[in-house]
Amino acid sequence: MAQVSINGDDLVVEMEALEKLWAFKSRLVIPLVNVRGATADPGIAHDPKGLRAPGTNVPGVITAGTFHQDGERVFWNVRDRARAVVIALADERYARLVVEVPDPAATVALIEQAIPR
């Protein structure tokens, strides 16, 4: 699971506990000007993940780390797909972040309210 917060002009995504090991990342900091939006999307966990590099993918258990698909780099950290949130980015290392959060609706609202329009 990840904790998503806003710190000044940045979106901060911090992985919890063992997810740090599986995802090969403990924290991502993204300027809000590069965040395009967020959606709760439990169905995304069924989508093909692409080539993992580096990352972990045990179907039905965990998807975590960096995956390359259709020329894009996507960061995953999902165990419970019902809690998946997709964060669309521009001009960043990752095109999207797909993370499990405690409250998807609240996380989407937090991000959507914080991004500059």
Q: 61-73, pLDDT tens digit by residue?
A: 778 888 898 889 9
> Do residues 32 and 2 touch, judged by C-beta distance below 8 A?
no
> pLDDT above 90 covers what percent of the chain?
56
Tokens read off for 54 = 């580096």
Domains and CATH numbers, the chain: 2-114 (2.30.29)
Q: Report CA-CA distances (Å) from 63 to 12, 56, 73, 102.
A: 20, 6, 14, 17
Q: 3-32, pLDDT tens digit by residue?
A: 999 999 999 999 887 665 556 677 899 999
Question: Around Cβ 106, how many Cβ atoms within 10 Å?
Answer: 13
Tokens read off for 29 = 């900091």
Q: 29-44, pLDDT tens digit by residue?
A: 999 999 999 999 888 7
The pTM of this model reads 0.89
CA-nearest of 115, 66, 117, 114 to 93 is: 66
> Do residues 13 and 25 touch, judged by C-beta distance below 8 A?
no
